[in-house]
Structure 1
Amino acid sequence: MGKINTILFDLDGTLVDSNEIIIQSFKETFKHYQPNVEYTREQIIEMIGPPLKETFKIVSEEPQVINEMIAYYRTFYQKHEFEYIKLYDNVIETLKKLSELDINLGIVTTKFEESAMPSINLFSIDKYIKNYSFLGSVSEHKPSPEPVFYVLKQFDCVDKALMIGDNPSDILAGKNAGILTCGIEWTLVKDRLKATNPDFWIKDYKEILEIVEKEI
Structure 2
Amino acid sequence: MIDTVIFDFDGTLADTSQIVINSFKHIYSVFRNEDCDEDYVMSTFGEPLRLTLQRDFEAYDFEDVITCYREYQVERFNDEVRLYETVKETLDYLKDKNIKMGITTSRLRNSTLEAVNNFNIKKYFDAIITADDVKKHKPDKEPLIKTMELLNSKAENTLYVGDSRFDMECAINSNVIPVLCGWHKLSEELKNQYNVKYVLNKMIDIKEII
TM-score, reference length from structure 2: 0.92
Alignment of 1:36-55 (within 5 A): 37-55=34-52
After TM superposition, give the deviation of residue 39 of structure 1 in Å: 1.4
Q: What letter is aligned with 1:119?
A: A
Give the equivalent residue in structure 2 for 1:179.
176
CA contact (8 A) 2:46 2:105 kept: no
Give the equivalent residue in structure 2 for 1:143.
139
Q: What letter is aligned with 2:22?
A: Q
CA RMSD of aligned residues (A): 1.6
After TM superposition, give the deviation of residue 211 of structure 1 in Å: 0.4
**More off after superposition, 182-191 vs 141-150:** 182-191
Which aligned segments of 4 or more residues in structure 1 are displaced greater than 6 angstroms? none
Q: Aligned partners of 1:118, 1:136: CA distance in 2, in Å? A: 14
Judged with a 3 Å threshold, the aligned counterparts in structure 2 of structure 1 residues 156 and 43 are, in CA distance, closer, same or farther, namely: closer
CA contact (8 A) 1:45 1:188 kept: no
Q: Aligned partners of 1:202, 1:60: CA distance in 2, in Å? A: 35
Q: Secondary structure at the match of 2:134?
A: coil
After TM superposition, give the deviation of residue 68 of structure 1 in Å: 2.1
Q: What letter is aligned with 2:69?
A: Y
CA contact (8 A) 2:24 2:36 kept: no
Give the equivalent residue in structure 2 for 1:116.
112
TM-score, reference length from structure 1: 0.90
Judged with a 3 Å threshold, the aligned counterparts in structure 2 of structure 1 residues 18 and 60 are, in CA distance, closer, same or farther, namely: closer
After TM superposition, give the deviation of residue 136 of structure 1 in Å: 1.4
CA contact (8 A) 2:100 2:126 kept: no
After TM superposition, give the deviation of residue 193 of structure 1 in Å: 1.9
How many matched pairs?
208
Give the equivalent residue in structure 2 for 1:27.
25
Q: Aligned partners of 2:88, 2:32: CA distance in 1, in Å? A: 40
Q: Aligned partners of 1:146, 1:40: CA distance in 2, in Å? A: 30
Alignment of 1:86-101 (within 5 A): 86-101=82-97
Out of 1, 5, 8, the residue aligned to residue 6 of structure 2 is: 8
**More off after superposition, 138-147 vs 198-207:** 198-207
CA deviation map 1:143-180 (0-9, x unaligned): 00000000000123446011110101001101100111
After TM superposition, give the deviation of residue 87 of structure 1 in Å: 1.0
Q: Aligned partners of 2:152, 2:35: CA distance in 1, in Å? A: 49
Q: Aligned partners of 1:93, 1:47: CA distance in 2, in Å? A: 29
Give the fraction of aligned pairs with identical amino acids, expressed as a percent: 27
Query: 2:190 matched to 1:193?
Result: yes
Unaligned segments of structure 1, at least 5 residues: none
Q: Aligned partners of 2:133, 2:58: CA distance in 1, in Å? A: 24
After TM superposition, give the deviation of residue 44 of structure 1 in Å: 2.4
Unaligned segments of structure 2, at least 5 residues: none
Q: Secondary structure at the match of 2:103?
A: strand
After TM superposition, give the deviation of residue 73 of structure 1 in Å: 0.7
